[in-house]
Structure 1
Amino acid sequence: MRQIWIQTKTRHQLYLDQINGQTADVLFQRITDFQTGDILYGTVKQVDHRLKACFIDVGQGDIAYLPYRNMVDEKVSHGDWLLVQVERLATPSKYITVTTKLQIKDDALVYSPFETSIHVSHKLTNEERDYLIDLLSPYVDEGLIVRTKANHQDQTTLINGLERLKIEYKQINEMPVKKGLVYRQSHPFMTALQQTDLSEVDRIIVDEPNMKEKILSVLPHVSDRLNLDRHYLHHRPYGYESLADELTRRQISLPSGASLTIDQTEALTAVDVDFGSYRIHQQTEPDYMVINREAVTQLAKILKERNVFGAIIVDLLNMQSNKEQQEIINTLKHQNIQQSASIHIVGFTKLGMLELTRKREVTNSYQFFGVDQRTLAPTENYYLQQLEEELCWFNEDRSIDVIHLEVDSSYSSMMKPFLKMLHETHEFHFPLYISTKKGLQSPYQLYKIGNVHWLLSRYEDKGLSIDKVF
């Protein structure tokens, strides 16, 4: 049985595709995160002629880096409003990189209003390219990139698609001037659904009406398999802690008993392949090649699931020849296509390490779950997201009268504003009281309370403070 679970009610959003209880695909995003291709409004915070760049305040406390080479007009001043598009996401040590040379795209076309020429995919023949240029030239004075998929669309579909892109760009320019997100091409979960063979999917389960409506507007044929579950958190086949552990765990066991160890550093991701508890098998080829093939097969899936990006170095078990190295590269290429993992294979270094790179398009699993990439220790965000999940879980249970939140004193200063923000978002049906305590084993503890008068009198008798948050 194949089911797709889509959680969008919480600030941290998840998409889980399961086949017979096993994870086939997982996607995640935080509602506040920007994505590659997002169009934002921001104000010029600083112009640095030495760096030949501007720094743009795009809201939410985020600063974007805008190099002169990415600007349509370099004549900007402090305080100017700009429409910018995310070109590269932030890293722990670098700002978001943006451009003012906006592009609006669909599967077949990329409309570039600040360019003046038409470019066609080199995967098409010269005859196909000439045909598409002749067809579209009368309808555009600006720039246009024609993708390979355009060759599979009829004339009317292509021309209508171009007109839609031009209208979208016009609407973006008419949006109210306000810092932050102005336009997003599509929700990544919607894109994933559209790219999935839904004829093989038995159920799609969502946790809020808005997502159900979005899916039906684009994929009306799945209405009989699309379910809105108002007790989603009670029924979903995963828990926050277990999924966080699965997608951030340092050591991964392979089916043969061998293992992968993944370590994140500031500069790169290091992957070590080890025999582990692998048992020697009677076979015609060396055991290290069996393990290496299995390792890179699993690695492609892991890199995609965790969205590991940047430089990746893989220390495979020693191979004896270039032929064996090429065989491993071919195995990884095949898995890259199968998994849609977007890996660029650089090749083997002189020390025999396999070097890969992967472009960052969304946040990785460590950042998403709030786990420190180097120590794998939970951060403040880990506990805040976990708290939101637990409160939403309680909110699905209408029999709950009162919730008491006991917070470690080191977390108390930021907890009330966070809780009030959650209440504005979720409109919890229960009142919540908060108290602080030193030396809790975890940052917080939640209690279901049947009698609020008992709770208040208990704290009053002990001379302790307790406050009602909402």
Structure 2
Amino acid sequence: MIMPFDTIPLPKDVLHPPETVLVNITPQETRVALLEENEICELHIERNSGHGLVGNIYLGVVRRVLPGMQSAFVDIGLERAAFLHIVDILEQKQKPDETQRIEHMLFEGQTLLVQVIKDPINSKGARLSTQISLAGRFLVHLPQDEHIGISQRIENEEERNSLRERLNALLPENACHGYIIRTSAETATDAELQADIHYLTRVWDNICQRAKTCQPETLLYQDLPLSLRVLRDMFNHNTVQILVDSKRNHEKMSEFAQQYVQNAAEKIHLFKGERPLFETYGIEGEINRALQPRVNLNFGSYLIIEATEAMTTIDVNTGGFVGSRNFDETIFKTNLEACHAIARELRLRNLGGMILIDFIDMTLPEHREAVLNEFAKALSLDRTRVTLNGFTSLGLVELTRKRTRESLSQVLCEPCPVCQGRGRLKTAQTVCYEIQREIVRESRRFDVKQFRIIASPQVIDLFLDEESQSLALLIDFIGKPIMLETDGHYSPEQYDIVII
């Protein structure tokens, strides 16, 4: 039986549904949608004006070492300095049991080879690591390490040992570099593994040469564009087809596939529909729905998703769903449906960090356990690392999802300039009372002839109607006239008090 606060293991043997990948390319941006059984589950967007930084390698300069936080700020040529914590320094990673001090490893002005492991998010700079890793189709190259690791998704011990032996046989005798064998290597031939080794070795040699000649704060290596990363990172044996709506990029992807992902080449097709690709598959509407807090489920039930910088909360509601049997069964059925909807929304919206889910209260322990098991099954399809915990003492389900890039909302939206991202505005009455309090304060500080209030139409209308009596009392109290002026360009919370 699952106990509260236990970490729930995600099943490894879940049958993955067939996948279709849609690649929409314009001069301004590339968008990739992943469909599972014709339902969008992931959306990746890369704009030409701002490529994602994860995987980029820079020659950085240490600007500030913070012993108290065991971290440092490193300049890599971006608007904000990037952040490097001691746990992401190679020497500490190689000796995790030894306590080391960052001030003994780094000094201000030091040049450093660093890699971005997390994009800048909101006001936070990029996060860095000094352990370099280069991703290939079947292998991840660790040029500063000698360890050969295996993807955790490959569980069969016999298969793991076989892959390790095959890779060791392909490496040169004097090789001192490490590798991680990716899940896709299970079906790779020796020739494909060898090609990956040669490619990654060439990339690392080029980075080392550039590091010797380039100035600090220089970008030494940039990851593949999104259209090619699709083939390297997303293509697998469940992929049925990859549709591309750009002839030029279709040729590029086909050429890349022929060289590095040969079994994907025959599944890449040029989309020639009369309507745009994303419109044909209903993706545009799904994107707009993914920016709304409400997600409708079947039979009238729904989710409310509220994402903040601190955490994301998800509330499950029955809505108008009354079921056909009894109340417990209605709640149970709604929660089971919500499991799959929540797992999909986390992927589609790319929500990360701490996530709290308020399922509808269930009185039967077997229902609670079944919901957790179903939720773990739904989350196992996620490519991003997820840790699921049991019900807390308050009846909430807690999970964490690794955050490596901005959420869909952060990519497509910006904080409202009127409410500053709060999502709510002060009422006109609240603004009226703020203005009156400020006028009282100013009348005591300055000897003025009169005051002029410039505000939005809603506020001025309120002064002239419901709050006209309080305005008259204020004029009598301060003994000075108050003039009103409307400005249609003012937001509901914006106002100015002019002293004359």
- TM-score, normalised to structure 1's length? 0.68
Is 2:57 aligned against 1:27? no
1:225 aligned to which of 269, 273, 280:
269
Supply the distance in 2 between the matched residues of 1:76 and 1:304 (Cα, whole angstroms).
37
Supply the distance in 1 between the matched residues of 2:76 and 2:274 (Cα, whole angstroms).
35
Supply the distance in 2 between the matched residues of 1:155 and 1:139 (Cα, whole angstroms).
19
2:245 aligned to which of 205, 223, 228:
205
1:250 aligned to which of 293, 300, 310:
293
**SS of 2:338's equivalent?**
helix
In structure 2, do the counterparts of structure 1 residues 28 and 441 end up closer, same or farther at CA, with 3 Å as the change threshold? farther
Structure 2: segments with no counterpart, 5+ residues: 1-19, 92-103, 259-264, 425-486, 492-500
| Native 8 Å contact 1:347 1:355 kept in 2 | yes
Which amino acid letter does the alignment assign opposite residue 288 of structure 1? I
Deviations 1:417-447 (A, max 9, x none): xxxxxxxxxxxxxxxxxxxxx95699xxxxx
2:80 aligned to which of 54, 62, 65:
62
| Native 8 Å contact 2:304 2:316 kept in 1 | yes
Is 2:312 aligned against 1:269? yes
1:159 aligned to which of 160, 185, 194:
194
Structure 1: segments with no counterpart, 5+ residues: 378-437, 443-470
In structure 2, do the counterparts of structure 1 residues 361 and 130 end up closer, same or farther at CA, with 3 Å as the change threshold? closer
Identify which range, 61-70 or 260-269, moves more after superposition: 61-70
In structure 2, do the counterparts of structure 1 residues 156 and 308 end up closer, same or farther at CA, with 3 Å as the change threshold? same
Query: By how many angstroms is 1:376 displaced?
Result: 5.4
1:92 aligned to which of 110, 122, 130:
122
Query: By how many angstroms is 1:321 displaced?
Result: 3.4
Is 2:235 aligned against 1:195? yes
In structure 2, do the counterparts of structure 1 residues 307 and 138 end up closer, same or farther at CA, with 3 Å as the change threshold? same
**Between Structure 1 and Structure 2, how many residues are aligned?**
378
Is 2:379 aligned against 1:345? no
| Native 8 Å contact 2:52 2:119 kept in 1 | yes
In structure 2, do the counterparts of structure 1 residues 199 and 54 end up closer, same or farther at CA, with 3 Å as the change threshold? closer
**SS of 2:298's equivalent?**
coil
Is 2:191 aligned against 1:186? no
Partner of 2:9: none
**SS of 1:273's equivalent?**
strand
Query: By how many angstroms is 1:297 displaced?
Result: 0.8
Mapping of residues 53-132 of structure 1, within 5 Å: 53-72=71-90, 76-92=106-122, 94-120=124-150, 123=155, 124-125=157-158, 127-128=161-162, 131-132=165-166
Deviations 1:100-121 (A, max 9, x none): 2211232433322222333445
Which amino acid letter does the alignment assign opposite residue 155 of structure 1? D
Task: Name which one, 1 or 2, has greater alpha-carbon Rg.
Answer: 2
**SS of 1:249's equivalent?**
coil
- TM-score, normalised to structure 2's length? 0.64
| Native 8 Å contact 1:344 1:356 kept in 2 | yes
| Native 8 Å contact 2:140 2:181 kept in 1 | yes
Q: Which structure has more RCO (C-alpha within 8 Å, separation ≥ 6)?
A: 2
Partner of 1:46: 64
Query: By how many angstroms is 1:35 displaced?
Result: 4.1
In structure 2, do the counterparts of structure 1 residues 228 and 174 end up closer, same or farther at CA, with 3 Å as the change threshold? farther
Is 2:214 aligned against 1:214? no
Which amino acid letter does the alignment assign opposite residue 302 of structure 2? S
Percentage of identical aligned residues: 21
1:362 aligned to which of 387, 391, 405:
405
Supply the distance in 2 between the matched residues of 1:203 and 1:195 (Cα, whole angstroms).
12
